[in-house]
């Protein structure tokens, strides 16, 4: 039975890796401007890409009707369209594959008794949340099909946030099956707080990405010689600037990085085991600075996003270990 529980844990870790791949591909899809290349949501038949010249022409014709093509990509060739199409198709295909990779092994493990019956409801809840994430993704895409040339930064943040919540939940349950610790839970407030901070920082990063705010104020530690961006509160009401002003969004993301670094350093200084998390945090901040200074090249920006997800996973693991420490 112990071996079966370990197998469940390994399976859930594999699911977490697929989610990490989706976060990476999703970031590249956004960076390459590919997210609006597929203008319809067909959960079943949409898994099959265009196979004939006529099918490719039809998909391209539908893309040519949306504002992104009309205002930004007019004159794009069919071959160039195929380039952005494959990014979005791959992202959606991974989502479909994730559903199968979760549900089929779940049925097998449940039938064999490797998953406790008491865990069936939360496993099924994870499956439902995964399906909901697909709907959120389409809801996000819809925001860029009628009047915008890109998706809403709000919906982008919600899409990423839902994916990260799914990642956190799956990783935590995987650790429960892999570690099988018998000690009662202990307080781990600081470590759990770090998880929340990293999560919020990633949502701030989604706002930066949605507003293309990484392409401005490409200096550090100042912002083009200033501490604060120019005219940070030019929109009314004032609070909406935190979500719609690119300069202020970037400023918030910078401050968020300092807060995460400060909390990680504080916990480390208190003697709590945090070497891996501290190392990834330091690397991620350095990577973010270089990404900003180089005006967010695609490869670096994608690497920055996936490293943030890895940091989130490390923080979750650290919190779990502290909560179940033996002494």
Q: Distance (Å, rounded) from C-alpha 137 to C-alpha 98?
A: 14
Could you read off the pLDDT of 1-44 as tens digits, one per residue? 556 888 999 999 999 999 999 999 999 999 888 999 999 988 88
- Residue 272 pLDDT > 80: no
Q: What is the pLDDT of residue 254?
A: 96
Using an 8 Å Cβ cutoff, are 302 and 165 in contact? no
pLDDT at residue 266 tops 70: yes
What is residue 7's predicted lDDT score, i.e. its pLDDT? 93
182 pLDDT band, cuts 50/70/90, is low
Structure tokens at 153: 């930064």
Q: What is the pLDDT of residue 188?
A: 65
pLDDT in tens, 118-176: 899 999 999 999 999 999 999 999 999 988 889 999 999 999 999 999 999 999 999 98
Q: Which of 292, 282, 276 is nearest to 261 (CA)?
A: 282
Query: Are 232 and 241 contacting, i.e. CB atoms less than 8 angstroms apart?
Result: yes
| CA nearest neighbour of 173 among 242, 118, 98, 135 | 118
316 token code pair: 């979750």
With a pLDDT cut of 70, the percent of the chain lying above it is 94
Residue 65: half-sphere exposure toward Cβ, Cα within 13 Å: 11
Is the model's pLDDT at 230 over the cut of 80? yes
**pLDDT at position 236, please?**
86
Give pLDDT tens digits for 283-323.
999 999 999 999 989 889 999 999 999 999 999 998 888 87
The DSSP symbol for 294 reads T
Q: Rounded CA gap, 275 and 258, in Å?
A: 18
Buried b (16+ CB within 10 A) or exposed e, 185-218: eeebebbbebbebbbebbbbbbbbbbbebbebbe
Residue 221 preceded by cis peptide, ω within 30: yes
Who wins on pLDDT, 45 or 120? Answer: 120
State the DSSP H helix or E strand holding residue 321, giving kind and residue range, or none if neither: helix 298-323
Residue 38 DSSP SS3 = coil
Average pLDDT over all residues of the chain: 90
Element (H, E) at 50: none
What per-residue confidence (pLDDT) applies to 325? 67
Find the mean pLDDT for residues 73-95.
95
d(CA 21, CA 29): 12
> pLDDT at position 180, please?
67
């Amino acid at each position: 039975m112990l071996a079966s529980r370990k197998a469940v844990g390994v399976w859930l870790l594999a699911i977490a890796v697929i989610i990490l791949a989706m976060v990476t591909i999703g970031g590249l899809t956004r960076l390459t401007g590919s997210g609006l290349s597929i203008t319809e949501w067909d959960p079943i038949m949409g898994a099959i890409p265009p196979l004939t010249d006529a099918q490719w022409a039809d998909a391209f014709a539908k893309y040519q009707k949306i504002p992104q093509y009309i205002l930004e990509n007019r004159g794009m060739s069919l071959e160039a369209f195929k380039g952005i199409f494959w990014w979005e198709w791959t992202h959606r295909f991974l989502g479909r594959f994730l559903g199968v990779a979760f549900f089929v092994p779940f049925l097998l493990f449940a039938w064999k008794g490797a998953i406790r019956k008491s865990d069936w409801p939360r496993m099924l809840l994870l499956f439902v949340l995964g399906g909901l994430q697909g709907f959120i993704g389409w809801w996000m895409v819809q925001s860029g099909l009628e009047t915008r040339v890109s998706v809403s930064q709000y919906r982008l943040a919600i899409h990423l946030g839902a994916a990260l919540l799914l990642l956190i939940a799956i990783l935590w349950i995987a650790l429960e099956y892999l570690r099988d610790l018998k000690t009662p839970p202990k307080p781990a407030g600081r470590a759990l707080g770090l998880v929340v901070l990293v999560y919020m920082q990633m949502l701030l990063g989604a706002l930066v990405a949605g507003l293309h705010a990484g392409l401005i104020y490409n200096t550090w530690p100042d912002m083009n010689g200033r501490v604060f961006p120019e005219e940070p509160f030019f929109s009314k009401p004032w609070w909406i600037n935190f979500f719609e002003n690119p300069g202020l969004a970037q400023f918030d993301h910078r401050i968020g990085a300092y807060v995460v670094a400060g909390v990680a350093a504080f916990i480390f200084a208190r003697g709590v085991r945090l070497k891996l998390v501290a190392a990834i945090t330091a690397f991620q901040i350095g990577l973010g600075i270089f990404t900003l200074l180089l005006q967010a090249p695609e490869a670096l920006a994608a690497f920055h996003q996936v490293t943030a997800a890895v940091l989130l996973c490390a923080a979750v693991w650290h919190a779990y270990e502290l909560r179940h420490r033996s002494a």
